């Protein structure tokens, strides 16, 4: 069993419990009470490189990363530093996250919020919207093609912007065929959990110009932002560097400033 398969097994078990506890109709009613979802795409398509800053307590590769007692306060620091969007890990077993974290963040920031989880059902999309998410992660490796296409369509129909994650050439082809207009290239190998920063530069040329390209994993500092930008990234998603660095607001500000360098303007 692969690491992804193991994670999905736990996710589906937890999902089954939630589906019993909260009927889908209740979620839809809660989603209907939310303010209209925020659209991240204008910021992502603007000049320079946008930063998605992540609330991340743990990971399968590193274990515990940070004791985040107040995810909302951390998200406010990110937003004050100039983050274009906030990503919140909601998977419980491997990432120590929850939908409560997302709800807390949504209540305190005005920028788009991404639910980052292992989404395989429309129920999870409704959960995301009911919690106040504006975006939802869809991992190509976790979905067959009909499910991927269906979830992209459903996400959009309820106001969510889908961030479609890929890891190799075949997944890029599948994401594009499914109509994704926001594609994240994850530099972390799901089989080994190792990060290969060359993954983005290898896959980015295969993604159409009209699609916004997000570099996920491997951003350690401003140099990495610039290197990803030169390879075609319009957005970077940063987690571990921010939660372990000690000063998240200034770190985000530094990454945003690097992405705003004049040499990186008007590239799309």
Active-site residues, by number, are 54, 56, 116, 165, 186, 216-217
Please give the full DSSP string across 164-214, using - where no structure is assigned. EEE-SHHHHHHHHHTT-SEEEEE-B-TTT--B-THHHHHHGGGS-TTSEEE
- CA dihedral of residues 188, 189, 194, 200 (deg, nearest 10): -50
Contact, 25 vs 210, CB < 8 A? no
Report the 10 Å Cβ neighbour count for 242. Answer: 27
Burial category of 191 from C-beta neighbours within 10 Å (exposed 0-12, middle 13-18, buried 19 and up): exposed
Task: Let me know the angle formed at the C-alpha of 132 by 247 and 246, rounded to the nearest 5 degrees.
Answer: 10
Collapsing DSSP states into helix, strand and coil, what is residue 242?
helix
Q: What are the start-end ranges of the H helices in 23-116?
A: 24-32, 41-45, 71-80, 99-106
Contact, 251 vs 230, CB < 8 A? no
* Residue 239 exposure: Cα atoms within 13 Å on the Cβ side: 23
Contact, 56 vs 66, CB < 8 A? yes
């Amino acid at each position: 069993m692969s690491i992804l398969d193991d994670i999905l097994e736990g996710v589906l078990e937890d999902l089954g419990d939630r589906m019993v506890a909260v009927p889908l109709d209740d979620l839809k009613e809660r989603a209907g009470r939310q303010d209209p979802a925020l659209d991240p795409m204008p910021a992502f398509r603007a000049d320079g490189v946008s930063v998605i800053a992540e609330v991340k307590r743990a990971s399968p590769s590193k274990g515990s990363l940070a004791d985040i007692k107040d995810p909302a306060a951390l998200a406010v620091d990110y937003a004050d530093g100039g983050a274009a969007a906030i990503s919140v890990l909601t998977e419980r077993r491997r990432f120590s996250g929850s939908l409560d974290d997302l709800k807390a963040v949504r209540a305190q920031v005005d920028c788009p919020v991404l639910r980052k989880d292992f989404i395989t059902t429309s129920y999870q999309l409704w959960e995301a919207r009911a919690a106040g998410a504006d975006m939802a992660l869809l991992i190509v490796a976790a979905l067959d093609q009909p499910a991927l296409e269906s979830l992209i369509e459903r996400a959009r129909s309820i106001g969510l912007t889908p961030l479609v994650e890929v890891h190799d050439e075949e997944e890029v082809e599948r994401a594009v065929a499914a109509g994704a207009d926001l594609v994240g290239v994850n530099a972390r190998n799901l089989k080994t959990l190792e990060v290969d920063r060359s993954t983005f530069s290898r896959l980015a040329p295969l993604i159409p110009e009209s699609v916004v390209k997000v570099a996920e994993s491997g951003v350690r500092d401003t140099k990495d932002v610039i290197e990803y930008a030169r390879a075609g990234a319009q957005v970077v998603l940063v987690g571990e560097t921010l939660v372990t660095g000690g000063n998240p607001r200034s770190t985000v500000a530094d990454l945003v400033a690097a992405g705003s360098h004049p040499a990186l303007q008007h590239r799309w």
